[in-house]
Amino acid sequence: MKRTIFAAALVSMITWWTPAVRAFCGFYVAKADTKLFNKASQVVLVRDGDRTVITMANDFEGEPKDFAVVIPVPTFLTRGQIHVGEKALVDHLDAYSAPRLVEYFDQNPCELADRVPMAMRAASVLEARPGVGGRGLAKSLGVTIEAQYAVGEYDILILSAQQSSGLETWLRENGYRIPAGASDVIGSYLKQNMRFFVAKVNLPEQARLGFKYLRPLQIAYESPKFMLPIRLGMVNAKGSQELFVYALTRNGRVETTNYRTVKLPSDVELPVYLKQPNEFAGFYKAMFARQANDRAGRAVFLEYAWDMKWCDPCSADPLSNDELRRLGVFWADDRDSRVFLSRLHVRYDAAHFPEDLVFQETGDRANFQGRYVLRHAWTGQDVCAAATDYRQTLVERHAREAEQLSQLTGWTMADIRTKMGPEAPVRVQPAAWWERLWRP
């Protein structure tokens, strides 16, 4: 059976005043991780100077024998520059940086005097094989097999070629299912002196190693190119694709230089029914779709930007230096542990993302996270002037929460009111101004 090129999503890679540190309060409730999205690719992009380490994780669910990946890379890679990583590390990074839901509980307004400002309640945060094709055939097609390696359960080839058609033919003849129209894209990468990294699964080796899933591939190289080639994956792709980039850098936030990088709406108060199972996931997907659409489908979204040393609230513990090193953060040790994580989320297709993603590292170390807030109402029966006022503001708050949810997701107010149940905003006549005038 022909191998399906999983270039799809995969990123066909080639490659006096400090910012205010805000303490966030709130109990962590849930996260919206990458598992929400079908066919999502995840790439960990470690970069410092010209040194780059890329970890490519995929959610390929077919037979391992059908798996293959073709990735443009900017330089030749020796055996030592290729490694098989651990999916658990990527999952940890995903969990650590995922947009999160936090909740607060209103206090009895009659005891307001006892209230402690949020900024002082930080403690309340939960800590939460060779043999592919023949060299003879390759030569006749102008394709050079520059190297072939067996790395873990993968057979890897580094290919260069004089002509894209030769490389395309070679790949087809060797059982790789190349989408029609890929030739032009392959050609443009070849003319830029890029090599092709081709990997497929060595089934006996996989059986021997005992892994039931495909572990992520890692490559390390030195090149001024700070980019991810996505064009090959878009050839003949149906619909848009989902890509998560976790950029780990020393200096600060990473952004794209050829597409606008936009912060996802954050710190928004929403109706508390979102705490119910699957509601937050549904909210997040709808919100992301609307945000992408509002920006003409051409923006890259920043979901998280944080110093790796800490988090608040934590949806997962920060990664240890050891974990970071295994992900390729080569400078992380006891002396230098400055690691800044930027989580970028891209929904792309050929119409809106004609060229590869190009990045730059900025000096921005300001913290940002996709954070959505639930505030549970106080439901006590105490009677006092403050409680009366509180109940009035509660009605306004619930109305505001519903409107914000509707604006972010495009959901109708009628649907939101139904789901909010007893908390649904009701149109009440606001108290007349004189009703408070001579109240004791």
Partner 1 sequence: MNDPRLYQIGTLASLLVYGMGWLDFDITPGRVALLLTTVLATQWIGDRVSRTGSSFGSSARSALISGLSLCLLLRTNRTELAIAAAVITIAGKFLIRIDSKHVFNPTNGGIVAMLLVTNQVWVSPAQWGTETFFAFLMACAGSLVVTRAARTDVTFAFLACYCALLFGRSWYLGEPAAIPWHRLESGALLLFTFFMISDPKTTPDSRIGRLLFGALVAWGAWYVQFRLFRTNGLLWSLAACSTLVPFINRIAPGSRYVWSTSPAALTSSRTLRAA
Residues lying near partner 1 in the complex (CB under 8 A): 16-19, 164, 184, 187-188, 191-192, 223-227, 251, 255-263, 295-296, 298-299, 354-355, 358, 360-366
Smallest distance, partner 1 to C-beta of residue 240, A: 16
Q: How far apart are CA 147 and CA 149, in angstroms?
A: 7
Per the structure block, which two tokens stand in for 430?
């606001």
Q: Which two tokens stand for residue 77?
A: 């890679």
The CA distance from 153 to 69, in Å, is 13
Nearer to partner 1 by Cβ, of 84 and 227: the residue is 227
Quick one: 180 exposed, middle or buried, by C-beta within 10 A (0-12, 13-18, 19+)? exposed
- Shortest Å distance, C-beta 58 to partner 1: 26
> Nearest distance from residue 111's CB to partner 1, in Å?
37
Of 226 and 246, the one with the shorter C-beta distance to partner 1 is: 226
Six token digits for residue 376: 């549970």
CA pseudo-torsion sign 119, 120, 121, 126: positive
CA-CA distance, 50 to 299, in Å (whole number)? 26
- Of 71, 53, 34, nearest to 154 (Cα)? 71
CB-neighbour burial class of residue 232 (10 A; exposed 0-12, middle 13-18, buried 19+) = buried
| Summary count for the chain: helices (H), strands (E) | 10, 22
Strand partners, 36: none
The answer, yes or no, to whether the previous bond of 224 is cis (omega within 30 of 0) is: no
Q: Which is nearer to partner 1, 81 or 266 (CB)?
A: 266
Q: How far is CA 427 from CA 347, 392, 395, 396, 399, in A?
A: 39, 12, 9, 9, 9
Tell me the closest approach of the beta carbon of residue 238 to partner 1, in angstroms.
19
Query: Measured from the CB atom, is 84 or 305 closer to partner 1?
Result: 305
Q: How far is the CB of 298 from partner 1 (least distance, A)?
A: 6
Tell me the two tokens of residue 429.
């006549």
**Virtual torsion, Cα 316, 322, 325, 327, nearest 10 deg:** -40
Answer for the pair 321, 336: CB distance below 8 angstroms, yes or no. no
Question: In terms of CB distance, is 62 or 354 closer to partner 1?
Answer: 354
CB of 264 to partner 1, least distance (A): 11
CA 102 to CA 371: how far, in whole Å? Answer: 7
Residue carrying the six token digits 């090129």: 5
Q: Which is nearer to partner 1, 202 or 241 (CB)?
A: 241
Residue among 17 and 438 whose Cβ is closer to partner 1? 17
Between residues 163 and 321, which has the closer beta carbon with respect to partner 1? 163
CB 262, min distance to partner 1, A: 7
Q: How far is the CB of 51 from partner 1 (least distance, A)?
A: 14
For partner 1, give the closer residue by CB, 255 or 312.
Answer: 255
The residue among 55 and 249 lying less far from partner 1, judged by its C-beta, is: 249
What is the nearest approach in angstroms of partner 1 to the Cβ of residue 335?
Answer: 19
CB of 75 to partner 1, least distance (A): 12
Q: Smallest gap, in angstroms, from Cβ of residue 404 to partner 1?
A: 17
Between 181 and 421, CB nearer to partner 1:
181
Cβ atoms 249, 364 nearer than 8 A: no
Among 250, 325, 292, which residue's Cα sits nearest to residue 47? 250
Cα separation, 362 vs 360, in Å, equals 6
Contact 327, 93 (CB under 8 A): yes
Q: Which two tokens stand for residue 19?
A: 């910012």
d(CA 327, CA 337): 14
